[in-house]
Amino acid sequence: MTDTATETTGTDELLSELRAWLQQNWDPDVTVAQWWERLGLAGWAAPGLPTNAYGKGMARSDAVLVQQEIAKFGALGAPAGLGLLLAAPTIAAHGTQEQIDHYVRDIVTGRKAWCQLFSEPQAGSDLAGLQTRAVKDGDEWVVDGQKVWTSGGQYADLGMLLARTDPDVPKHQGISYFAFEMLQDGVDVRPLKEMTGHALFNEVFITDARVADSALIGGLNNGWAAANTTLMNERAGLGSGGGNAAGGGAAQPGTVMGFLGRRAGDLAAPAASTRGDQKSQQPGGALGAMRGGAGLLIGLARARGVNTDAGIRQDLARLYTLGELGRYNGLRMKAVKEQGGDIPGMPNVSKLSMSQIVRLSRDLGLRISGPAGMLHAYDVDGKAALREATGDPLAGGVTEMALFAQAPPIYGGTDQVQRNIIGERVLGLPKEPNNDRVTPFSQLPKNA
Ligand SMILES: Cc1cc2nc3c(=O)[nH]c(=O)nc-3n(C[C@H](O)[C@H](O)[C@H](O)COP(=O)(O)OP(=O)(O)OC[C@H]3O[C@@H](n4cnc5c(N)ncnc54)[C@H](O)[C@@H]3O)c2cc1C
């Protein structure tokens, strides 16, 4: 177990330290692997991690500023994806120092890409009902089961695997958290196509796959605590005010589809470091566009000549206000954390607020676009043809965003689940009565 360091160095001081470091170290001619090695080991890839885990113990809001500053400088940002966003902070909090050095180092330097093997066909909101099992065999575990919705599973080296290691205790108490090798026999990853036309997530079938005992994170049957750290980081990172940048930049890590051998400068052009058309393992470009928020849609409204419409102006103001509230909540959280406190439920509030922003952006974007909001293309060639036919560089972008808008209110825990958590854990409302916390998992009724 490690402490979560919270250094309180001033933001301005840190950013000028970063600029000086970039002046000395950024070189567009090195490979992405070489650049990420420098960035990661210096603590700038994931500055929100503790200092013993390749970070600088910075507040999330400052870590977002760091990523923005790197992009502004014109250097390549940190590796994209769930390794940096979820696995690294979980291993930093629950892993041994040996595990941190083994796994987190490879994450901050982009050598390995990760996916999240949590959800199952019968265990999404009720995650603790998961049925994938791991059975001990010498100094290894044998894993069998099925996962679903696994974002980026098709190019992950490792997965954050939740598996049942003791079915004879209540369901939350018999789960373990493993760093699971994806590239092995017995792991079958099958992409699922979404209505945007992309296949961001997958079904993963696991049959007699193996994971070493040394890959157990946080101790046997203690996976629920580690899983909650992952989920808390997911909600805070994906929520409004969290900033996707906290989870890394646009370039893909890992051995399967990673950009490691490419020239760093080719991926760091300003347009590449800030644009939303690169796919990250979670929600990619469309969410990036929604995060562009009011500014992006104000520009679109002007371009379409509807910026004088009173209804549209009012909703643009609402969108701007929601974005600012998210930003202020991030600052509030930082201030409270610096004093050693916490704001219970803030990650849940922030994720709910993100859902609101996403829905409003979808509806507003389609209203601003008018009939053009019905035009969509599903691949690179189709997009080019659409742009050529309409003469509109944004054609298809709004529909992409609108089609994807259904996803953020679901992943990382649905809106209803966030409200349940706020009700039960923050407001102290009574839980729905059930026996789940006392009855052994093996005796609970199952859907399948
Ligand atoms: C784009 C995308 C990417 C994802 N990526 C990943 C990933 O990488 N890894 C991963 O493990 N998972 C991932 N997920 C899965 C996601 O976490 C689940 O979809 C989510 O937890 C909901 O689970 P479910 O789909 O099984 O829905 P269910 O749990 O079946 O819920 C169905 C409906 O019932 C409601 N509901 C359920 N229980 C309650 C309750 N107690 N009170 C009130 N309402 C309730 C829900 O809010 C929802 O509206 C992803 C999902 C999406 C959409």
**pLDDT, tens digit (0-9, with 9 covering 90-100), for 191-246:** 999 888 889 899 999 999 999 999 999 999 999 999 999 999 988 777 655 444 34
What is the per-residue DSSP string for 86-132? IIHHHHHHHS-HHHIIIIIHHHHTTS--EEEE--BTTBSTTGGG---
Mean of the per-residue pLDDT values of the chain: 88
Measured from the Cα of 127, ligand 1's closest atom is 21
Return d(Cα 414, Cα 224) in angstroms, integer: 18
Q: Tell me which residue has tokens 């420098």.
A: 38
Say if strands 158-164 and 114-117 run parallel, antiparallel, or are unpaired: parallel
Give me the mean pLDDT over the 314-342 stretch: 91
Q: Which of 90, 117, 119 to mutate to test the pocket of ligand 1 (most atoms within 8 A of CB)?
A: 119
Give me the mean pLDDT over the 277-292 stretch: 44
Q: Is 186 left (phi over 0), alpha (psi -120 to 50) or beta?
A: left
Distance from the Cα of residue 286 to its chain's centroid = 14
Confidence of residue 249 (pLDDT cuts 50, 70, 90): low
How do residues 100-147 score in pLDDT, each as one tens digit? 999 999 999 999 999 999 999 999 999 999 999 999 999 999 999 999
Contact residues of ligand 1, CB 6 A cut-off: 115-116, 118-119, 124-125, 149-151, 201, 407, 410-411, 413-414, 416-417, 420
Q: Is the pLDDT of residue 278 over 60?
A: no
Residue 371, burial from CB neighbour count under 10 angstroms (0-12, 13-18, 19+): exposed
Give me the mean pLDDT over the 34-48 stretch: 97
User: Shortest CA distance to 206 belongs to which of 152, 162, 174?
Assistant: 162
Cβ proximity of 112 and 186 under 8 Å: no
Which pLDDT score is estimated for 436? 87
| Of the listed ranges 193-207, 281-295, 405-419, the one predicted with least confidence | 281-295
Measured from the Cα of 121, ligand 1's closest atom is 26
User: Shortest CA distance to 61 belongs to which of 336, 297, 265?
Assistant: 336
Could you tell me the distance, in angstroms and rounded to a whole number, from the CA of residue 417 to the centre of ligand 1? Answer: 9
Confidence of residue 273 (pLDDT cuts 50, 70, 90): very low
- CA distances to 49, 66, 67, 205, 305 from 58, rounded to whole Å, are 7, 10, 12, 38, 43
Which H/E stretch holds residue 206?
A: strand 201-212
Cβ proximity of 17 and 56 under 8 Å: no
Which of 37, 120, 181, 234 is catalytic? The answer is 234
Name the more confident of 433 and 427.
Answer: 427
Which pLDDT score is estimated for 10? 74
Say if strands 201-212 and 187-192 run parallel, antiparallel, or are unpaired: antiparallel
Handedness of CA 48, 258, 154, 194 (dihedral sign): positive
Which pLDDT score is estimated for 242? 45
Could you tell me the distance, in angstroms and rounded to a whole number, from the CA of residue 235 to the centre of ligand 1? Answer: 13
| Of the listed ranges 216-225, 292-301, 414-423, the one predicted with least confidence | 292-301
Could you tell me the distance, in angstroms and rounded to a whole number, from the CA of residue 132 to the centre of ligand 1? Answer: 17
Name the more confident of 399 and 24.
Answer: 24
392 CB neighbour count, 10 Å cutoff? 17
Which pLDDT score is estimated for 432? 84
Q: How much of the chain exceeds pLDDT 90, in percent?
A: 67
Quote the longest CA-to-CA distance of the chain: 70
According to DSSP, residue 338 is labeled: H
346 CB neighbour count, 10 Å cutoff? 23
Which pLDDT score is estimated for 319? 94
User: Shortest CA distance to 36 belongs to which of 65, 70, 72, 77?
Assistant: 77
Is 424 annotated in the active site? no
Backbone angles phi, psi at 357, to 5 degrees: -60, -40
Q: Is the pLDDT of residue 270 over 70?
A: no
Q: Is the pLDDT of residue 279 over 50?
A: no
Return d(Cα 308, Cα 358) in angstroms, integer: 23
Return d(Cα 360, Cα 33) in angstroms, integer: 39
277 CB neighbour count, 10 Å cutoff? 16
Which pLDDT score is estimated for 291? 54
Return d(Cα 125, Cα 413) in angstroms, integer: 6
How do residues 339-379 score in pLDDT, each as one tens digit? 999 999 998 998 999 999 999 999 999 999 998 888 888 88
Measured from the Cα of 82, ligand 1's closest atom is 8
Give me the mean pLDDT over the 237-265 stretch: 75
Could you tell me the distance, in angstroms and rounded to a whole number, from the CA of residue 123 to the centre of ligand 1? Answer: 8
What tokens does 69 get?
Answer: 């500053």
Angle (CA) 202 206 210, round 5°: 130
Could you tell me the distance, in angstroms and rounded to a whole number, from the CA of residue 127 to the centre of ligand 1? Answer: 9
Name which residue sits closest to atom 44 of ligand 1, judged by CA: 416
Which pLDDT score is estimated for 433? 85
